[in-house]
Structure 1
Amino acid sequence: MAEVTLEDLDHVGPATAQKLRESGYNSVEAIAVASPTDLSLSADIGESAASKIINSARRSANIGGFETGDLVMERRKQVGKLSTGCSEFDEMMEGGIDTQSITELYGEFGSGKTQIAHQLAVNVQLPNEQGGLNGSVIFIDTENTFRPERIKQMVQGASEHHNIDYDPEEFLKNIHVARAYNSNHQILLMDSAMELAEESKNWEQPVRLLIVDSLTAHFRAEYIGRGTLADRQQKLNKHLHALQRFSDLYNAVIIVTNQVMSKPDAFFGDPTKPIGGHIIGHTATFRMYLRKSKGDKRIVRLVDSPNLPDGESIISVTPLGLTNP
């Protein structure tokens, strides 16, 4: 689809194309999966014209029509697997974390969510034969959790594991970090992420992993009380759909971490549940619950998946990264 430009679409002239690009719609595929309302506001055109542009983009990008199951199966073959570096964890996920999907990691403070995110930011840069995707990373940091020092330690661990002398500085250059200062800024950063991923198509290591750590922290802090719940959920829903769109367009892994809240009325089982309610529950493709165990061990439980059975695996969080216990 590279040869089809925005100007090739019906009802798009040079001025409209310029406005669309300025709003982050840099490709035909990005327009094909946009909503008429968003496009209308971005390009300052009527919703009717926006719908026509979207339909033209869908025809050009071959998106949005019905297709038979065998074609879906063929497209599913493009889904990549990103290794966690822990054999039991990878086995539970049938080879690793999927591209074209959102994987949610939730658990209490210190349960290992950010550690897994950092480890995947290293692993995604490895070649395919070492469980990576030969790609670069976008890290949206909402709680000031990104630590370059930790990346260096994990690169050292990868060097020892694969017996190859990797350069930590090169790994850090392939991680693009943005600090989100509030929920609006967090949502806006997705536009910048789209632009960066589009630009990265020409790089040696295009963007194949996007991390949001944590997805819900700002929403939880800013929307307090039941009266704000509807607004919060609506914004969270829009944000999650932007993440899903990103994963589909760039065949990328999306990792979001999530906080938990306690359920004091729970008499049986674990008295914690993830923030965000049904919106995240329905949008995340894979949901994993992390909890502490003895010493450096963490238990990862696959709670929800469209095609895998529920399961548990144990990992160790060591100074050199995630390892088998």
Structure 2
Amino acid sequence: MAEDNETELEDLPGVGPATAEKLEDSEFDSLEAIAVATPSELAASTDIGDKNASKIINAAREEAEVGGFETGNKLLERRKNVSKIPTGGEEFDELLDGGIETQTITELYGEYGSGKTQIAHQLAVNVQLPEEEGGLDSSAIYIDTENSFRPERIKQMAEGVGIDEEEALDNIFVARAYNSNHQMLLVEKAQELAKEQEEEEEGKQVKLLVIDSLTSHFRAEYVGRGALAERQQKLNKHLHEAIKFTNLFNAAALVTNQVQSNPDAFFGDPTRPIGGNILGHMATFRLYLRKSKGEKRIARLVDSPCLPEGEGVFTINKEGIRDA
């Protein structure tokens, strides 16, 4: 997104001092944040009505150069801002052409013990690596829904890549989500935290948002076909907030996902990820993890807009994710 230091919120049509203050109080304090909002979100925050909210959003999009048509070459130029976070395994990184991308959602799904949480821990460490070592010299936000985050594991992985253990823990902001509504709220709070980090002189910018796991609360709270539509609607809204986060902060979103067995599958692997088409469409990269012999794990790239399907083998040891 384009940076614009000249246009103030009050320069937008229909935004006076009082409205600008309400927007800032609701975290719509930049042109980019307003540009990617919906009219209903903006109207609810400022009491100005959907029609006026639409005018403000359209003006912000024009000023911030968001949402219009552009040539392929211009888009290619903007894509140069995309960064990648290495996983720790060369073969795994090769599968992803260097690691997980910023400005996207990457989904990891697989059975218990396939390595989803281990990879999430490793990326929360690797994003802190200096740029010359392949990292982004940044911090991470970790939303834990299954009480699976372990600071002791972070310390082991930090030692494995040569980062100070205490600093590594200081650069990971962890919150435990107790239900789906709380989980959705935490993604909104993550935007506030990331903004605070940007404003701090000594703070590291947030370049990774982890949700581990994305679907466990939704799966437990919305049971049966009668609740499916409501579950998918809330999950869709949740994922849109995650995408908004990645665009606002040029960050990567990593979500882990549970699986279920498809009894109708007579051939091949019957394992299927939870979340249906909503998650299938929203996740830019989908990786299926499964166990192999001993400490070996296999990552299969199932879906990507620009990379071929393929598999990579990695191991999980005391130091973290490594080559097999």
TM-score normalised by structure 1 residue count: 0.95
Please give the root-mean-square deviation of Cα atoms over the aligned residues, in Å.
1.2
**Deviation of 1:5 (Å):** 3.3
**Deviation of 1:83 (Å):** 0.8
**Deviation of 1:280 (Å):** 0.4
**Deviation of 1:118 (Å):** 0.2
Among 35, 45, 49, the alignment partner of 2:48 is 45
* 1:166-315 mapped onto 2 (5 Å cutoff): 166-203=163-200, 204-315=203-314
Distance 1:292 1:76 in 2: 34
SS at the partner of 2:226? helix
Greater Cα shift, 65-74 or 189-198: 189-198
The residue number in structure 2 matching 1:324 is: 323
Greater Cα shift, 307-316 or 60-69: 60-69
**Deviation of 1:180 (Å):** 1.1
Greater Cα shift, 111-120 or 26-35: 26-35
**Deviation of 1:11 (Å):** 1.2
Q: Which runs of 5+ in 2 are unaligned?
A: none
Matched, 1:61 2:60: no
Q: Which amino acid aligns with 2:258?
A: Q
Q: Which amino acid aligns with 2:87?
A: T
**Deviation of 1:26 (Å):** 2.6
Distance 2:276 2:5 in 1: 39
SS at the partner of 1:77? helix
The residue number in structure 2 matching 1:129 is: 132
* Contact 1:26–1:198 under 8 Å retained in 2: no
Distance 2:214 2:242 in 1: 11
Q: Which amino acid aligns with 1:274?
A: P
- The alignment-based identity, stated in percent, is 65
**Deviation of 1:133 (Å):** 0.8
* Contact 1:136–1:207 under 8 Å retained in 2: yes
The residue number in structure 1 matching 2:74 is: 71
Distance 1:317 1:2 in 2: 45
Greater Cα shift, 295-304 or 199-208: 199-208
The residue number in structure 1 matching 2:120 is: 117
Q: Which runs of 5+ in 1 are unaligned?
A: 160-165
* Contact 1:29–1:58 under 8 Å retained in 2: yes
Q: Which amino acid aligns with 1:269?
A: G
The residue number in structure 1 matching 2:143 is: 140
